[in-house]
Amino acid sequence: MDESTQKYLDFLIIEKGLSDNSVASYSTDLAQYITFLEKNSILNLNDVDIAVIFAWLIDLTKKGLSAKSRARHLITIRGLYKFLINEKEVTKNPVKNVDIPKIGLALPKIMTVKEVADLLDAPDIRKPRELRNCAMMEIMYGAGLRVSELISLCLQDINLDANFVRVMGKGSKERVIPIGSQARSITQKWIKEGRPFLLKNISTPYLFVARAGKPMTRQFFWKIIKKYALVANISKNIMPHTLRHSFATHLLEGGADLRSVQTMLGHSDISTTQIYTHISREYLIKMHQKYHPRN
Name the residues annotated as catalytic. Answer: 146, 170, 241, 244, 267, 276
| Nearest alpha-carbon partner for 217 in 160, 157, 136, 156 | 136
| Residues 258 and 277: beta-carbon distance below 8 Å | yes
Compute the Cα dihedral for 125, 131, 137, 141 and give only its sign. positive
Sheet holding 174-178, edge to edge: 158-159, 164-168, 174-178
**Separation CA 158–CA 50 (nearest Å):** 51
**Separation CA 132–CA 152 (nearest Å):** 14
| Nearest alpha-carbon partner for 97 in 50, 45, 51 | 50
DSSP 190: I
| Residues 93 and 85: beta-carbon distance below 8 Å | yes
| Cα Rg, the chain, nearest whole Å | 23
The alpha-helical segments, DSSP class H, found in 106-217 are: 113-121, 128-143, 147-151, 181-189, 195-199
What is the phi/psi pair of residue 229, to 5°? -65, -40
As beta bridge partners, residue 179 has: none
**Separation CA 190–CA 186 (nearest Å):** 6
Query: What is the CA 93 to chain-centroid distance, rounded?
Result: 30
